[in-house]
A = this chain, B = another copy of it.
Amino acid sequence: MSDTSPKFRRETAEQRKDDLIQATLSLIAEHGVRGATVRAISKRADVTQGLIRHYFSTKEDLIAAAYEHHMGCMTELTSASTDFASLSPIERLSAFVAASLSPPVVDPSSVVVWASFLNKVREDERMQKMHEQTYYEFRDRLEGLIKATLEEADILVSTKDLRRMAIASNAVIDGLWLEGGALPTAFEPNELPEIGLESVGAIIGLKLKITAGSS
């Protein structure tokens, strides 16, 4: 009998890379970076370990790609919340804060993955750059939203104060996000976004409302 069933399928490079990245992220989420070995990754992605090296010249390359992907997802999830033309500046800011402090952004796996990468940031220069970029991107976005909100309310602030408001707001969000992911049982549902809106409101001197829009 001739071999009827193919022993494997050839996939596009894009597809395979994505499979490997997903496998890597899920393993890191479950068992930390330690669990993301080439063998475990290839097994979860249903390929042999040799394939990893075919698409990523080294394991660190795969890790870096996974980091970039993860961060990209997080940024996208939060940014999407403000993409409604109908929203006023204050509603935009509120939606942004609320989205950053609700699932799926707030999630134990996300925090673990993020913390795992933080260690590598020191050794790997690429990751250092990515880390900085992600941070500044988020903070600049926040600063823009705060600026628009204050302008609409006819409140004047110096550049320095605006910068500090953004740093502080970023910090509250980061802190709450972190604690919500690391200690899921420590907070009641909706408590995180509520506290986040109150705090950012207090920092910029306005009352932020919860927008019922986001699912």
Contact = CB atoms under 8 A, between A and B. Distances in A.
B183 A167 contact: no
A144 interface: no
B179 A178 contact: no
Contact of A115 (B118, B136, B198): B118
A31 B168 contact: no
A97 to B, nearest CB: 12
Nearest to A181: B118
Interface string A111-147: 1100110111111000000011001100000000000
A33 interface: yes
A172 interface: yes
Contacts of A191: 164, 167
B168 A195 contact: yes
Given A112-B119, A119-B115, A164-B198, A175 B171 contact: yes
A198 B131 CA distance: 26
A135 B183 contact: yes
6 residue pairs, one from A and one from B, having the closest CB atoms: A171-B175, A32-B119, A175-B175, A174-B175, A115-B118, A168-B199
22 contacts: A32-B119, A32-B123, A34-B119, A115-B115, A131-B182, A131-B183, A135-B179, A135-B182, A136-B186, A164-B191, A167-B187, A168-B198, A168-B199, A171-B195, A174-B175, A175-B175, A175-B178, A198-B203, A199-B203, A202-B202, A202-B203, A203-B203
Interface of A: 31-34, 108, 111-112, 115-116, 118-123, 131-132, 135-136, 164, 167-168, 170-176, 178-179, 182-183, 186-187, 191, 194-195, 198-199, 202-203, 205
Given A115-B119, A167-B191, A202-B205, 20 more contacts: A33-B34, A34-B119, A108-B122, A112-B119, A115-B116, A121-B182, A132-B183, A132-B186, A135-B186, A164-B194, A167-B176, A167-B195, A168-B172, A168-B195, A171-B171, A172-B172, A175-B175, A199-B199, A202-B203, A203-B203
